[in-house]
């Protein structure tokens, strides 16, 4: 097992998990999943061992890992080490092992070292049972290996919100999440506002999917998250929250759902907007040749990317024209997700409809003939 021990310890920083399967007859556990984790006491290997419907956990130092591999670990006939982009498989052959390598589509795990972990607002190991029910944490509050990317993404979102709200001493805070989906972000935001900031938060999540909405409400109720509720609602059709709101968030809400969220925020005077758009189909589907940038419309790939950038640039400009100060941030690494642009906006003044200057946007729309929902919703005009 020495070769496998060396392979594991060499890969510690990039390893997503290692699986041990095909146990010898009579072995106590049918399967083990091994993950590198960072505990307060230092770097460890967490072994999740399965026996029937039960799961048993062990945390091992590097030294103890060697012993575990020679004992319990050697009862398995197949061991696979999953790192970003590569899987190394060991198959038992007599007294030795046959090693092979193959590609995979996994991305790198979040850095789980001490220094990086301190930067995360929401720390692995925090006893938050709702996140276990959501499927983000394991039963002992570790991040599930396949949720590391999401965990990292949501922590980044929280960091940006935290930056914006630093020094804000509001007692209560109302936030709407448009296209909340499984609502990891929505739950994390609730935890942040209520448990970490001590605010009396009201958070409402909207989504089209009745099953996920029901599940999210169930978890919120189970853990007494009284200010957190979810509704099945097509946000393009109205019927949304009627009270005062402080913030609107979107994380990859599809296509024009983002425009409806932004328009709602503007019309209801939300002070904060945090919006990570995705699948900007509307402009891509309606733009036509019209000027200096026609070269970018000739090839489908360029057209799609150009349309996405143009959509978000237009959204940022429209928000400015309605009284917001807007920043455009790279939300996460492009390699982590290509949908990585965040529009972060803060309301600085109120601009009535008649005084909104949309001329820069209208100039481009007129030339290139595209439709854009946020423009329509804020100006009351179909197009120009
Ligand atoms: C890519 S998922 C993102 C979910 C979640 N915000 C996240 O980042 O994990 C987009 C979600 O938006 C929802 N959605 C799309 N159009 C919508 C609409 N018009 N009204 C409400 N929800 C919508 C979808 O059902 C889906 O769950």
For the chain, 384 residues long, the average pLDDT of each consecutive 10-residue run is 91 87 92 84 86 83 93 94 88 92 71 49 87 92 86 92 90 97 97 94 97 97 97 96 97 94 97 93 94 93 94 97 95 74 95 93 96 95 74
Residue owning the nearest CA to atom 26 of ligand 1: 181
For position 193, what pLDDT does the model report? 95
Cβ neighbours of 247 (radius 10 Å): 22
Q: Which of 46, 78, 103 is the last residue of a domain?
A: 103
- Report if residue 384 sits inside a domain: no
Residue 371 DSSP SS3: coil
Q: Do 148 and 260 lie in a common domain?
A: yes
Q: Which of 74, 103, 132 is the last residue of a domain?
A: 103
HSE-CB at 335 with a 13 A cutoff on CA atoms is: 8
Q: Do 12 and 78 lie in a common domain?
A: yes
Ligand 1 site, residue 208, Cβ cutoff 6 A? yes
User: What CATH number corresponds to the domain at position 341?
Assistant: 3.40.50.150
For position 64, what pLDDT does the model report? 93
Q: How far apart are CA 94 and CA 90, in angstroms?
A: 12
- Report if residue 214 sits inside a domain: yes
For position 336, what pLDDT does the model report? 65
Ligand 1 site, residue 343, Cβ cutoff 6 A? no
Q: Do 119 and 96 lie in a common domain?
A: no
Q: How far apart are CA 36 and CA 148, in angstroms?
A: 12
Q: How far apart are CA 309 and CA 280, in angstroms?
A: 9
Q: How far apart are CA 137 and CA 187, in angstroms?
A: 13
Q: Which of 103, 127, 147 is the last residue of a domain?
A: 103
Q: How far apart are CA 327 and CA 94, in angstroms?
A: 61
Please state the domain count of the chain: 2
Q: Do 69 and 170 lie in a common domain?
A: no
User: Dmax of the chain from CA atoms?
Assistant: 82
Q: Which residues contact 313 (CB under 8 A, 6 or more apart)?
A: none
Ligand 1 site, residue 132, Cβ cutoff 6 A? no
Residue owning the nearest CA to atom 23 of ligand 1: 179
Q: How far apart are CA 128 and CA 130, in angstroms?
A: 6
Residue 168 falls in which region: left (phi positive, over 0), alpha (psi -120 to 50) or beta: beta
In order, the DSSP letters of 32-78 are: EEEEEEEETTEEEEEEEEEETTEEEEEEE-HHHHHHHHHTGGGGEEE
For position 32, what pLDDT does the model report? 94
- Report if residue 171 sits inside a domain: yes
- Which 8-state DSSP code applies to residue 308? H
Q: Please give the residue range of the domain that contains residue 123.
A: 114-379
Ligand 1 site, residue 70, Cβ cutoff 6 A? no
Q: Do 126 and 250 lie in a common domain?
A: yes
Residue 134 DSSP SS3: helix
Ligand 1 centroid, distance to 225 Cα (angstroms): 22
Q: Do 126 and 268 lie in a common domain?
A: yes
Q: Do 195 and 84 lie in a common domain?
A: no
Residue owning the nearest CA to atom 13 of ligand 1: 179
Best CA proximity match to 148, nearest among 116, 196, 115: 116
Ligand 1 centroid, distance to 372 Cα (angstroms): 19
Strands (E), the chain: 15-23, 31-39, 42-51, 54-60, 76-83, 86-93, 96-103, 172-178, 200-207, 228-232, 247-254, 272-278, 324-330, 341-347
- Report if residue 108 sits inside a domain: no
**Burial class of residue 60, CB neighbours in 10 A (0-12, 13-18, 19+):** middle
Ligand 1 centroid, distance to 261 Cα (angstroms): 11
Residue 9 DSSP SS3: helix
For position 7, what pLDDT does the model report? 93
Q: How far apart are CA 157 and CA 185, in angstroms?
A: 8
Q: Do 136 and 74 lie in a common domain?
A: no
**Burial class of residue 183, CB neighbours in 10 A (0-12, 13-18, 19+):** buried
Ligand 1 site, residue 371, Cβ cutoff 6 A? no
Are 130 and 218 contacting, i.e. CB atoms less than 8 angstroms apart? no
Q: Do 162 and 217 lie in a common domain?
A: yes
Q: Do 199 and 323 lie in a common domain?
A: yes
Ligand 1 centroid, distance to 352 Cα (angstroms): 30
Q: Which residues contact 238 (CB under 8 A, 6 or more apart)?
A: none
């Amino acid at each position: 097992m020495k070769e496998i021990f060396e392979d594991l310890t060499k890969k510690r920083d990039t390893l997503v998990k290692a699986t041990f399967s095909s146990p010898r007859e009579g072995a106590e556990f049918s399967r083990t999943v091994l993950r590198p984790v960072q505990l307060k006491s230092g770097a460890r290997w967490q072994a999740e061992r399965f026996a029937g419907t039960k799961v048993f956990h062990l945390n091992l130092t590097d030294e103890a890992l060697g012993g575990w591999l020679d004992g319990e670990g050697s009862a398995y006939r197949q061991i696979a080490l999953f790192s970003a982009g590569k899987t190394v498989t060991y198959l038992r052959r007599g007294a030795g092992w046959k090693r092979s390598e193959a590609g995979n589509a996994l991305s790198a795990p979040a850095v789980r070292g001490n220094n990086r972990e301190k930067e995360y607002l929401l720390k692995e190991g925090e006893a938050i049972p709702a996140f276990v029910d959501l499927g983000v944490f394991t039963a002992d509050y570790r991040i599930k290996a396949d949720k590391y990317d999401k965990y990292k993404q949501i922590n980044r979102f929280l960091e940006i919100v935290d930056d914006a709200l630093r020094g804000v001493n509001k007692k209560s805070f109302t936030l709407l999440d448009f296209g909340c989906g499984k609502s990891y972000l929505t739950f994390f935001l609730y935890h942040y506002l209520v448990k970490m900031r001590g605010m009396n938060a009201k958070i409402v999540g909207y989504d089209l999917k009745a099953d996920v909405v029901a599940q999210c409400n169930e978890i919120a109720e189970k853990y007494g998250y009284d200010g957190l509720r979810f509704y099945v609602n097509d946000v393009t059709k109205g019927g949304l929250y009627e009270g005062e709101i402080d913030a609107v968030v979107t994380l990859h809400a599809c296509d024009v759902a983002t425009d409806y969220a932004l328009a709602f925020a503007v019309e209801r005077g939300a002070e904060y907007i945090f919006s990570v758009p995705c699948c900007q189909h509307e402009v891509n589907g309606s733009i036509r040749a019209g000027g200096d940038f026609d070269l970018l419309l000739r090839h489908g790939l360029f057209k799609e990317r150009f349309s996405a950038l143009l959509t978000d640039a237009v959204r940022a400009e429209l928000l400015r024209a309605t009284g917001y100060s807007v920043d455009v941030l790279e939300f996460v690494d492009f390699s982590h997700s290509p949908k990585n642009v965040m529009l972060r906006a803060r309301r600085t003044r109120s601009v009535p409809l008649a005084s909104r200057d949309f001329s820069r946007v209208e100039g481009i729309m007129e030339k290139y003939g595209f439709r854009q929902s946020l423009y329509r919703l804020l100006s009351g005009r179909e197009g120009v």
